[in-house]
Amino acid sequence: MTPAPAAPHLLLEGLRGAHAPRAPVWLEARGGLLGLLGPNGVGKSTLLRLILGAEPAAEGRALLNGAPVRALPPAARAARVCYLPQEPPASPHWTLEELAEQGAADAGAARAALAALGLAPLAARALGEVSGGERRRAFLARALAQRAALTLLDEPLAHLDWAQAESHLRLLRADARARSALTLITLHDLNLAALYCDEVLLLAPSGEAWRGSPAAALTAPHLRAAFGAEPLLVPHPRALGAPQVLPWGEG
Amino acid sequence: MGGAPLGARALARRGLLALGLGAGLSLLVGRGGLGAAEALGALLEGPWGEGRAALIVGWVRLPQLLTAAVVGATLGLSGAATQSLLRNQLADPYLLGVSAGGGLCAALAISAGLDERLGPWAPPALSFCGALAASAAVYGWARGGRGLGAEALLLSGVALNLALSAALTLVISLSGERLGGVWRWLLGRVDGLSWAEVGALSLPAAVGAALLLRARRDLWLLEAGEEVAWTLGVEVERVKRVTLLAVALSVGAAVAFCGVIGFVGLLAPHAVRPRLRGEGAWLLPLSALWGAAGLCACDALGRLTPSPLPIGAVTGLLGGAALLAALRRGARA
C-alpha cells in the first residue's frame, strides 16, 4: 500500500489554451465535486486537458500542490491524477474487470468500484459485449477504482438514463467528500449539476466565468450570457436553493 | 477472429502443444529420403551422432525448425506490439517500414550480385541496415513538434512503404538474370540457414523480444489512450521509441535472413486477442508463442507437398483462408 497522498490543492493561474477557453481561467479548489459547465465549444474539455498537460497552455499554468501535473514522476501519477476522456480508447476484448483493474489503487478497489456502479454481474464480460451505457459505467468504475487525489472526468454521464446519471453523480460526490479528494467533472445537465456539485464553474463564450455554489453561479443573467438564451429558472421543489432550468415549451 | 474465450494459461498450453506438434512434424518429415523412424533415431542419438541421418537432422532440419520458431515468434510478438502501439488491430509489424527498407536493400544486393562478389552475408547485412534506416525514417518523419502520434506513425509508415515498394518494383524489373534470386528471397524462406546464420538472426530477435516483453504492461495500457496511460505511470514517449527500436531490430533481422513472410504478424495477435479473457498484459508473450507455433506448422505443411512450397506462399494461403473463415464465423455469431 502506498501512503495516502496529500490533500489536493489545484490552482489555475490564468490558464488558457490555443483555441479555448477564450479568456484566462483563474481557479483555486481543494476538494469535493466541482462541475465544469457551459455551452458546447466553450473549452470545458480543453480545460481538463490543459490541467493534465495533454495540451500546451497558451498562457498561464495549472499547479497541483504547487507543481504542474506534467512534472509528476511515473510512480506517483496514478495516486495523484486520474483522467477519463470523453471517448476513452479501449480494446473491445478487455473485460470490465480488466478495465477497472488498470488504474486500481489496490486489489479490492476494482471490484468495489464495479459493485458500486452495479456492474459486478458483468465483471467477466468483454467491453464489446455490453451496452453503450454499461461501457460508459465501466470507464467510470476504472476512474473510481483509481482513487486519485485529483480526478478529471469529461462527460462521464453522457448517454446514461436519468436515474443512472443521478445515482452515479451522487456516488461521485460521496466518493470525493469521503476521500477529501477533488473531482472535476464536465456536465451538460445543469439540473443535476445544481443538485449534486459542491461548486460549479460556468464558462461563457465571451470569456466570462462564474464560480461558486450552484445557486450563486447558475443565475438567469449568467445562464443567458453563457448559453445565449433566456432560461426558465425554477427552484427545485425539494432541494432548497438548487436552481432548475426547464424547457419553455409552447403555450 | 472469433473463438471461445480462454484464460492466458489455457492459451499458453494450446500454443505449446501446437508448437510441439509442429516441431515434431518438421523434424520428422522432409527431403533427403530420410524416413521418420530414421530421423527419430538420429534425434535420439543427440548432437554426437554420425552418419547421413544425423547430418540431415542436425544441419538441415534442426536449424530450419529453429529459424521458423524464431521468425514466427518475432513476427507474432512484434505484430502484437505494433497493434498496441498504433491502437489499430489491423496493423502489421511491416507497416513501420521494416520490410520495405529491408526488402529493397536485399533486392538491390542480390540483383547487383553482391552475394557472389562479397559473400553470402552481404544481402542480409545490407537488408538489416535498410530495415533500420527505414524505421528511423518513419520515426523521424512522424515525430512532429511534440510527441509521436499513432496516426502520424501509421501514415508515414504507409507512405514510406508505398514509395519503397515502387523502388523495389523498379529494382526487380532491372535485375535481369538474377530475377530468380530476388523472387526467391521476396517469397520468404526458413530453410537453408547455417547455424551461424541462425545465431545471427536470433541475437537481434532476442534483444527485441526482451525489450518488448519488458514493456508488455505499458503496451497494454497504451491501448487505453496515451493520456490515460500517462496518468497510470507509463512513460509514453519512451515506450514508443523502445517499441519502434525493438520491432526494427527483431523484424529487420527476420526479414534480412528470411525475406518477407506475410500474415503471421497480423494473424498471431488476432488469434490470441479475442480468446484472452481478462489478462490483456499476456497478449505479447502469447502472440509470440502462437506465431512460432503457426510458422513451424506452416513450414512443416509446406514440406508435405510433392514440391516444397515457399513458406511465404503457405502463410499467405493459410492465413487468408483462416481470416476469411473467422469473418464468416463472426458474421454468423
Q: Is residue A50 part of a domain?
A: yes
Residues from chain B that touch A74, judged by Cβ atoms under 8 A, are: 233-235
Q: Is residue B191 part of a domain?
A: yes
- The candidate with the shortest Cα–Cα distance to B86, out of A10, A29, A71, A89, is A89
Give the whole-number percent of chain B exceeding pLDDT 70: 94
Tell me how many domains chain B contains: 1
At residue B121, the pLDDT reads 87
Q: Provide the pLDDT confidence category of residue B3 given band limits of 50, 70 and 90.
A: low
Express each pLDDT in A73-118 by its tens digit: 999 999 999 999 999 999 999 999 999 999 888 889 999 999 999 9
At residue B250, the pLDDT reads 94
**Residues 161-200 (A) with a CB less than 8 A from some CB of B:** none
B278 with A81: Cβ contact below 8 A: no
Q: Is residue B252 part of a domain?
A: yes
Q: Is residue A100 part of a domain?
A: no
B227 with A85: Cβ contact below 8 A: yes
A102 in reach of chain B (CB within 8 A)? yes
Give the residue numbers spanning the domain of A207. 10-88+149-246
The three cell numbers of residue A143 are: 476512474
Residues from chain B that touch A52, judged by Cβ atoms under 8 A, are: 227, 231
**Sign of the torsion formed by the C-alpha atoms of B230, B235, B237 and B242:** negative
Residues from chain B that touch A91, judged by Cβ atoms under 8 A, are: 89, 223, 273, 280
Express each pLDDT in B31-84 by its tens digit: 767 777 777 877 777 666 677 778 888 888 899 999 999 999 999 999 999 999
At residue B147, the pLDDT reads 56
Q: Provide the pLDDT confidence category of residue B278 given band limits of 50, 70 and 90.
A: confident
Residues from chain B that touch A79, judged by Cβ atoms under 8 A, are: none
Upstream peptide bond of A21 is cis (omega within 30 degrees of 0): yes
| Burial class of residue A237, CB neighbours in 10 A (0-12, 13-18, 19+) | exposed
Give the mean pLDDT of chain A.
91
For residue B103, pLDDT beyond 50: yes
Q: Is residue A118 part of a domain?
A: no
Q: Is residue B211 part of a domain?
A: yes
Q: Is residue B23 part of a domain?
A: no
At residue A181, the pLDDT reads 94
Express each pLDDT in A38-66 by its tens digit: 999 899 999 999 999 998 888 989 999 98
Residue of A72, A94, A151 for testing the chain B interface, max B β-carbons within 10 Å: A94
Tell me how many domains chain A contains: 1
B224 with A52: Cβ contact below 8 A: no
Q: Is residue B32 part of a domain?
A: no
A86 in reach of chain B (CB within 8 A)? no
For residue B140, pLDDT beyond 80: yes
At residue B222, the pLDDT reads 93
If phi over 0 gives left and psi between -120 and 50 gives alpha, with beta otherwise, what is residue A74? Answer: alpha
B146 with A77: Cβ contact below 8 A: no
**Sign of the torsion formed by the C-alpha atoms of B247, B249, B254 and B260:** positive
At residue B333, the pLDDT reads 43
A102 with B235: Cβ contact below 8 A: no
For residue B218, the domain's CATH number is 1.10.3470.10
A90 with B223: Cβ contact below 8 A: yes
Shortest distance between the Cα of B80 and any Cα of chain A, in A, equals 13
Give the whole-number percent of chain A exceeding pLDDT 70: 98
- The candidate with the shortest Cα–Cα distance to A33, out of A156, A145, A137, A139, is A156
Q: Is residue A105 part of a domain?
A: no
For residue B144, pLDDT beyond 70: no
Q: Is residue A171 part of a domain?
A: yes
B87 with A89: Cβ contact below 8 A: yes
Give the residue numbers spanning the domain of B275. 67-332
Report phi then psi at B164, rounded to 5.
-70, -30
For residue A164, the domain's CATH number is 3.40.50.300
Q: Give every CB contact of residue B333 below 8 A, 6+ residues apart in sequence.
A: B2
At residue A114, the pLDDT reads 95
Residues from chain A that touch B278, judged by Cβ atoms under 8 A, are: 94-95, 97-98, 124
Express each pLDDT in B157-166 by its tens digit: 889 999 998 9
Shortest distance between the Cα of B231 and any Cα of chain A, in A, equals 5
* β strands within chain A, DSSP E: 10-16, 25-29, 32-37, 59-64, 81-84, 150-154, 182-186, 199-203, 209-212, 232-235, 243-246
A68 in reach of chain B (CB within 8 A)? no
Q: Which residues of chain A, if any, have pLDDT below 50?
A: 1-2
Express each pLDDT in B296-311 by its tens digit: 999 988 888 777 788 8
Give the mean pLDDT of chain B.
87
A85 in reach of chain B (CB within 8 A)? yes
Under 8 Å between Cβ of B299 and B193: no
Mean predicted confidence (pLDDT) in B275-284: 88
B279 with A98: Cβ contact below 8 A: yes
Give the whole-number percent of chain B exceeding pLDDT 90: 41
Q: Is residue A231 part of a domain?
A: yes
